[in-house]
Amino acid sequence: MQRRKFNIIPVLFLLPSIALLLVFVYIPLIQNFYNSFFDFSVFSQTKTFVGLENFKNLLADKVVSVALLNNVKYAIISVVLQVGLALVLAYILEDKLFHRVAPFLRVVYFMPVMISISVVALLFGFVYNPQMGLLNSFLELIGLENLKEVWLGNPETAIYSVIAMSQWHSIGFVTLLFIVAIQKIPKELYEAADIDGAGKIRKFFSITVPQVREAIFVNTLITITGSMLVFNEPYILTNGGPGFSSTVMSVHMYQTGFVKDNMGYASTLAIIIFLLTAVLALIQIKLSRTGKDD
Amino acid sequence: MEQVIKPSVEQVIKPSRKLRKFSIGQFVTMLMLAAFAIVILYPLLWMVISSMKSYNEIFNDVWGLPSTWIVENYSLAWSKGISGYFMNSFFVTSVTIIAVLIIGSMAAFVLARYKTRWIDIALIFTIGGMMMNPQVALIPLFNILTNLDLINTHLALILTYIAYRLPLTILLLRGYFLSIPKELEESAIIDGCTEFGIYRRIYLPMSVPILLTTIVLTAFFAWNEFLFATVFIDSETLKTIPSGLMNFRDALRTDWGVLLAGMVLASLPMIALLIFLQKYLVQGLSEGSVKG
């Protein structure tokens, strides 16, 4: 094949993407690092250089430790339920014994994914409502009045109520991803295990889990990343309250920047969020086989 | 639900297996599956039923059906603000989808077809954008958009949405483009087809499934995006559905039936889209593995 003359197409075709990514993705990131050394407010033209002051404040900020802990709780519970439970659910739904109800259940479990998280959060405002809420009414119905709770107003339960809503929203979706992965497992493996007399639990751990380990790994990564970035759910349901009991890093950053108008310190909080997720994202990119020559 | 009625082949051939079906373990499992289904389904059902109830009926009789089905809640919700949010979301989402498709596919085309050191760098640059997240860029973006005089315009949302969707889109499209046989384009070049022609007449038509995946993922993102929509848009008339709903809630106070009707209306387009294109969502997510 003979060499073509200089081709303008690659430049023209790449230019819009590169320009948009540069202006709206990369430059903001760099600017955020720069901003973290300053003290400034939203509309002021001047920034005061404060050196590492913002980073020192980070260590003294009690809300940061509460927020980080809540992010970690979010991550642990989400991994257990959205990776662990979802995989078990997928395994059960793919079992021959349930093949008649599985198509219906798959659709039902998937339904919340179709609803936007802001609608879901408003809906769960009704679920958790202390007076007429579905949850308290249900507890009353089955005679467990003493478990009734001001779910979002109690600092002990607020964050768990928010996390529970996220699980409700996402489990069915991850289950579907695992179903897709399980369907790719060669049937012969299970047939061979049947001949050996392996039970269902045995087959789950010695065939299903190893065969879908890539999906497990990727879903774990995404779930942890999502838990570190989570914003909408706590913001809409509790706005981080009562007090700071259900705040997370993103909400703390938003409030520091746009409510308290302390932009410099908010930038420093954003860096922490970036560091928490960048490594995970890097692993994910590596895994998605985007290498130079594939 | 025809499947429920038809006996399966397996059961006809091996009736002995049927006996094992009712072991305690399976019964308990079935019970748990059903309970979980109810936990998922009931709040959604409740939302639809209560959207046609009055405040008093919602408050005093949470479980009951409405004594009269107040369908007017829907027209009230529509005229009290949802229509505006709806149109704004529709506009922002459509423009974002079209731009992401065009810009993303052009970049993916070049990144799949050429191999030089510059292309490698461009590839890392574009896909690397997946590492960045909106939260981290929020404050600088606010400043940049203010300086560009774009704050409080739809363009602020459209431009940022496109930028944050491009990395994943390019990743998915490029992966698909790489599987297109080289022979096709070679014969097209011999027939005198230009580079642009190869892009338009070979690559795009052959990639319809992945383009549909991109549409679903982008639509889903743009329709539901909350953070930028809240921070970058201030005026009531420009708000999109996610941030508009929050205003709607505050404005209505106790008009719960109307609020719930608005929530149902806000959900309909994505439900419709996903019912038609569900297959492509799953495909995209199992390949690209991104949610939220």
| Chain A touched by B68 (CB under 8 Å) | no
Query: What distances in angstroms separate CA B162 from CA B48, B217, B227, B243, one per listed residue?
Result: 33, 12, 15, 19
Q: For residue A61, is it within any domain?
A: yes
Using pLDDT thresholds of 50, 70 and 90, give the confidence band for residue B167.
very high
| Radius of gyration, CA atoms only, chain A | 24
Q: Confirm or reject contact between A88 and chain B (CB < 8 A).
A: no
Among B138, B183, B181, which Cα is nearest to B160's? B138
Would you state the pLDDT for residue B287? 61
Cα–Cα distance measured from residue A129 to residue A223, given in angstroms and rounded to the nearest whole number: 28
pLDDT for the residue A180: 85
Q: Does B26 touch chain A (CB under 8 A)?
A: yes
Question: Phi, psi at residue B77, to the nearest 5°?
Answer: -60, -45
Taking the CB of residue A144, how many other CB atoms lie within 10 A of it?
11
With respect to residue A33, please indicate whether it lies within any of the assigned structural domains: no
Q: Which two tokens stand for residue B199?
A: 């892009």
Any domain includes A22: no
Q: Is B46 on the interface with A (CB under 8 A)?
A: yes
In angstroms, rounded to a whole number, what is the distance separating the alpha carbons of residues A132 and A134?
A: 7
Looking at chain A, which residue has its C-alpha nearest residue B164? Answer: A25
pTM of the full structure: 0.86
The predicted structure's pLDDT at residue A293 = 36
- Neighbouring C-beta atoms of residue B65, cutoff 10 Å: 11
CB-based contact, A166 to chain B, within 8 Å: no
Average pLDDT, chain B: 85
Give the pLDDT score at A245. 92
Amino acid sitting at position A257: G
CATH of the domain at A266: 1.10.3720.10
In a domain, A41, yes or no: no
In a domain, A210, yes or no: yes
Tell me what pLDDT residue B122 has.
93
- Is A75 part of any domain? yes
Is B162 in contact with A236 (Cβ distance < 8 A)? no
Which residues of chain A fall below pLDDT 70?
1-6, 45, 288-294
Question: How far apart are alpha carbons B219 and B210 in whole angstroms?
Answer: 14
Residue burial B265-289, b: 16+ Cβ < 10 Å; e: rest: bbbebbeebbeebbebbbbbbbbbb
> In this complex, which of A31, A123, A232 lies closest to B226 when CB atoms are compared?
A232
pLDDT one-digit tens code per residue, B235-272: 989 999 999 999 888 888 778 889 999 999 999 998 88
Q: What are B8-66's pLDDT values in tens digits?
A: 444 444 444 545 556 888 888 889 999 999 999 999 999 999 889 888 888 877 787 88
Q: With an 8 Å Cβ cutoff, is B16 touching chain A?
A: no
Q: What is the pLDDT of residue A290?
A: 44
Collect all residues of chain B within an 8 Å Cβ-Cβ radius of residue A27: 140, 144
Interface check A270 vs B, CB under 8 A: yes
Helix segments in A184-262, DSSP class H: 187-195, 200-203, 209-211, 213-229, 232-237, 249-254
How many structural domains does chain A have?
1
Question: What pLDDT digit, counting tens, does each position of B117-146 carry?
Answer: 999 999 999 988 888 888 889 999 999 999
Answer yes or no: is A37 within a domain. Answer: no
pLDDT category at B290 given cuts 50, 70, 90 is very low
Which residue ranges make up each domain of chain B?
A: 2-50, 74-288
pLDDT at residue B178 tops 60: yes
Amino acid at B87: M
Smallest CA–CA separation between A156 and chain B, in Å?
23
Higher pLDDT, B159 or B81: B159
Residue numbers of B between 186 and 225 with CB closer than 8 Å to A = 195-196, 199, 223-224
Q: How far is A205 from chain B (nearest CA, A)?
A: 18
Q: Are the C-beta atoms of B231 and A258 separated by less than 8 Å?
A: yes
- The C-alpha atoms of residue A61 and residue B168 are separated, in whole angstroms, by 35
| Structural domain includes residue A269 | yes
> Does A46 contact chain B (CB < 8 Å)?
no
Contact of A230 with A71, CB cutoff 8 Å? yes
Report pLDDT for B286. 62
* Interface contact flag, B164 A290, Cβ < 8 Å: no
Fold of B74-288: MetI-like fold (1.10.3720)
- Looking at residue B217, its pLDDT comes to 87
| ipTM computed for the complex | 0.85
